[in-house]
Amino acid sequence: MEKITLFGKTPEELKQVVGELGMKPFAAKQIAEWLYKNHARSFDEMTNISLKDRQRLNESCSIGLETFSNVQSSADGTKKYLFPTAKSRFIEAAYIPDDDRATLCVSSQVGCKMGCLFCMTGKQGFQSQLSAGEIVNQISSLPEREKLTNIVYMGMGEPFDNLENVMKSLELLTSEWGYAMSPRRITVSTIGMIPAMKHFLEKSECHLAVSMHTPFHEERKKLMPIENVYPIAEVIETLRAFDMGRQRRVSFEYIMFKGLNDSPKHVNEIARLLNGMRCRINLIRFHPIPDTPLESSDETVIQQFREALVKKGIRTTIRASRGQDIFAACGLLSTKALVKMQSPDF
């Protein structure tokens, strides 16, 4: 019989499991504490649970935490961790230490279906969804877990294409019974899947980052097929209609491609689209991927672009490139080499 995985379950779900095992309901709360507060990796560590119950747990359940199977370290301190997931698949998470912060970029899917032209993950196609436990495992099994100040869902996959598991992972991270992290330390990044984005805005208080990459519809269609069905202008309209409150942040990610999206015309159109919206833009250098016709904009152009946006009243930052030497930088995560031969539909 397959064992029940407990890591990733809510106290309600744990109550059901312990009930089925003939244990008292309060054991669910104890297990949740061991899993999410004390980071227990075995049932034997759960010393306030009776020996008999621990035996039952050992027989029928597994914790479900997975240690990383590889790590690469960059000269700049960034580390890229490879974690195993179900069905012998793999995902990557990037740990990015900075002066006073340490950010973990987590994956939400094995591969991705969205096929953005500039992205390594997109090139590997889609293999599977991550469960909430597999998402949070990237945090729980991280050697630097205690140093983490921020979590960003910007690794492999489109978080809103795995909405239920991503929402559950956010509940785990922000609930009192879970990791009790402030939602202000978590940012979820999307290419703009509007229906799922609305759900996230209503049900979570975490920050949102939207990948814009160009304000022009026809141009964005060529870079990001999602633009066909959820155009950036409608994404922005949806955000405008939503009351974000004062604390919650919306940012737009903008990868700078030479001669493609880095002109004054782009600045003007961005300013028109975002007119009066409380948000900021992160400009990102493009990290070339194999066989791409795209190139990163020159440094001076990136600086001028930032200044032009700032002049238009838009808070704009240039994101530092981190972990480029170990392919941990933005858009470079991929476990394609580890994907077993699949049978495609063509």
Ligand X SMILES: Cc1cc2nc3c(=O)[nH]c(=O)nc-3n(C[C@H](O)[C@H](O)[C@H](O)COP(=O)(O)OP(=O)(O)OC[C@H]3O[C@@H](n4cnc5c(N)ncnc54)[C@H](O)[C@@H]3O)c2cc1C
Summarize as ranges the residues that interact with ligand SF4 (CB under 6 A). 112, 114-116, 119, 121-122, 156-158, 191
**What's the number of CA atoms in the CB half-sphere (13 Å) around residue 236?**
24
Tell me how many residues contact ligand X (CB under 6 A): 3
Q: Which of 2, 13, 92, 146 is catalytic?
A: 92
Give 116 or 279: the residue with its C-beta nearer to ligand SF4. 116
3-state secondary structure 116-152: CCCCHHHHCCEEEECCHHHHHHHHHCCCCHHHCCEEE
CB 39 within 8 A of CB 140: yes
Is 128 near ligand X (CB under 6 A)?
yes
Where residue 266 falls (left for φ over 0; alpha for ψ -120 to 50; beta otherwise) is alpha
Q: How far apart are CA 172 and CA 47, in angstroms?
A: 23
DSSP letter for 296, please: B
Give 129 or 297: the residue with its C-beta nearer to ligand X. 129
Is 129 near ligand X (CB under 6 A)?
yes
Q: Which stretch binds another protein (CB under 8 A): 98-106, 114-122, 145-153, 170-178?
A: 114-122
Give 111 or 331: the residue with its C-beta nearer to ligand X. 111
Q: How far apart are CA 15 and CA 26, in angstroms?
A: 8
- The answer to whether 92 is a known catalytic residue is yes
Is 180 near ligand X (CB under 6 A)?
no
- The answer to whether 119 is a known catalytic residue is no
Q: Nearest approach, Cβ of 164 to another protein (angstroms)?
A: 5
Q: Which of 112, 119, 279, 330 is catalytic?
A: 330
Query: Which one of ligand SF4, another protein, ligand X, none interacts with residue 2, CB within 5 to 8 A by kind?
Result: none
Q: Nearest approach, Cβ of 342 to ligand X (angstroms)?
A: 12
Query: Which one of ligand SF4, another protein, ligand X, none interacts with residue 129, CB within 5 to 8 A by kind?
Result: ligand X
Is 113 near another protein (CB under 8 A)?
yes
3-state secondary structure 147-194: HCCEEEECCCCCHHHHHHHHHHHHHHHHCCCCCCCCHHHEEEEECCCH
Catalytic residues: 92, 330
